[in-house]
Amino acid sequence: MADITDIKSIVYTEKTLAMQESGVVVVQTSPRMTKSGLKEVFREYFGVVPLRINSLNQSGKTKRFRGVTGKQKDFKKFYVLLPEGASIESLAV
């Protein structure tokens, strides 16, 4: 069962802020989150039923720090289309 703690962050970039104007919210979650789980979280915690959800698995980047190679964590990104006129106050910038 999905929980609000599976949502790591809301992505705020120049591109995603432009998408928010048209009702699309970009959410970064843990890799185990599913579309139906995210829909349930939005319905339960935010009171909004998304119209469409697109997902993207993002592999962590390989980075070098002081000569040691390491890997950042993998994560999943969701593009959530909200109904027209619906907004989430806690997500506003």
Architecture field, domain 4-84: 2-Layer Sandwich (3.30)
- Most confidently modeled of 43-47, 70-74, 81-85? 70-74
Specify the residue for token string 């910038």: 93
Q: Across the strands, what pairs with 25?
A: 80
φ and ψ at 92, to 5 degrees?
Answer: -70, 140
Q: What is the pTM of this model?
A: 0.81
Q: Across the strands, what pairs with 24?
A: 81
CA distance 19 to 5: 24
CA distance 14 to 19: 9
The secondary element (H helix, E strand) that includes residue 29 is strand 24-29
Q: Across the strands, what pairs with 64?
A: 69
Q: Averaged over 12-40, what is the pLDDT?
A: 91
Q: For residues 87 and 56, which has the higher predicted lDDT (pLDDT)?
A: 56
Q: How would residue 89 be classed by pLDDT, with cut points 50, 70 and 90?
A: low
Domain ranges of the chain: 4-84
Q: Averaged over 4-22, what is the pLDDT?
A: 89
pLDDT for res 63: 94
